[in-house]
Amino acid sequence: MTESWHGTTILSVRKGNQVVIAGDGQVSIQNMVLKPSARKVRRVGKGDIVAGFAGSTADAFTLLERLETKLERHPGQLMRAAVELAKDWRTDRYLRRLEAMMAVANAEISLLLTGNGDVLEPDDGLIGIGSGGAYALSAARALIDIDGLSAEEIARKSMAIAADICVFTNSHLTLEVIDLAKD
């Protein structure tokens, strides 16, 4: 019998002059917390891209490595690297068994990547994945139009709401911010 692992909430918020990806730290198996402080958000490329992952950790690290390789081949082209990764992920016999999702962002674009070959850019600049992703995404959608709240503040408040609702989400955050160039 395989145990069901739970415990990821990843949220990406793009607003004003910031894009943020936040992730909680909880890793659970059934009703037991295995680790409260996992780091599921990382900088990739030359540090100008942030990626958050949900799903199997080993699978996610494999995908992050593949994304790094694609970015080396297509520097400065996150969309192209993501599409190339998604093609491989869907067609490669080994990769298509990987169970993970990723939210990736740089100064220009935010993307959701799935093993179904999806590379989706959200219309509203918000992405939520993982067991608490819908809760964090809903909270972010409610907060996004409030004047005076930065992307980072929205991400922090939304993740706190998700942690209060989802038993597989905690309040130990890893948060990476990219400050966007001002016009």
Active site residue 91: no
Residue 37 CB neighbours (<10 A):
12
DSSP string, 100-153: EEEEEE-SS-EEEE-TTS-EE--TTSEEEEETTHHHHHHHHHHHTT-TT--HHH
Which position among 2, 8, 9, 91 bears the catalytic label? Answer: 8
CA separation, residue 143 to residues 13, 15, 88, 115, 128 (Å): 11, 11, 36, 30, 14
Q: Which residues are catalytic?
A: 8
